Amino acid sequence: MLLLVGLGNPGAAYQGHRHNVGFMAVDAIARAHNFGTPRLRFRGEVREGTLTSAKGATKTLILKPMTYMNESGNAVREAVEFFKLPLSDVVVIYDEIDLAPGKVRAKAGGGNAGHNGLRSISAHIGNDYRRVRLGVGHPGIKEIVHMHVLHDFAKSERQWLDPLLDAVAQAAPYLADSDDAGFMNKVTLLTAPPKPPSKSKEQ
């Protein structure tokens, strides 16, 4: 079983924030793969479904903690303990300011880089879970990082955000296969700009 955790803050006021791109990503995965209706469990909103690849079908639980970002670990710990999951079956999707907008990185373990959601999760279950970082860009000034992430994506940013979320949803079965490199490659391929038409040779 795979536990897919999207990080964000609950409530309409936070819905469009850069800090909520983890919520947006798991919602896109749930829609693309016809997951079940959301319900409240493990101090969060959960949806059950299946991610199917060439290797087979993997039962998957999507979890959006409703505890606010700083307490995300409480919800994740309850789900991990209930299902007795190894941390290799836990994937956390979240915003990363140190990645350029639209870039994606996936790996197991690593530091928390000042992200309060990760800090909370690591405090509750350890640090060896898998992570998918979705780049939202850095404002360039350390003092306004908090305001940057707790602010809606600009309309112009939808030009890269919507294709990114679609690509993450299409590539999600690679995460179920524990193929993080394949996941990154698929997302990169799906979000690559179209190649210009080749010029025909002069006759």
CB 141 within 8 A of CB 93: no
pLDDT tens digit sequence for 133-173: 999 987 777 777 778 878 888 899 999 999 999 999 999 99
Strands, E, within 75-135: which ranges? 90-96, 104-108, 130-135
* Catalytic status, residue 138: no
Does the pTM surpass 0.85? The reply is yes
Q: Which of 17, 19, 33, 115 is catalytic?
A: 19
Question: pLDDT tens digits, residue range 103-124?
Answer: 999 999 888 877 899 999 999 9
User: Rounded to whole angstroms, what are the CA distances from 174 to 2, 117, 169, 201?
Assistant: 11, 24, 10, 40
Which CATH architecture fits 2-191?
3-Layer(aba) Sandwich (3.40)
Residue-range domain boundaries for the chain? 2-191
Query: What pLDDT sits at residue 198?
Result: 65
State how far the Cα of 178 lies from the Cα of 180, in Å rounded to an integer.
Answer: 6
More confident residue, 201 or 127: 127
Find the radius of gyration of the CA atoms of the chain.
Answer: 17
Percent of the chain with pLDDT over 90: 77
Question: Which one, of 32, 65, 66, lies nearest residue 49 by Cα?
Answer: 32
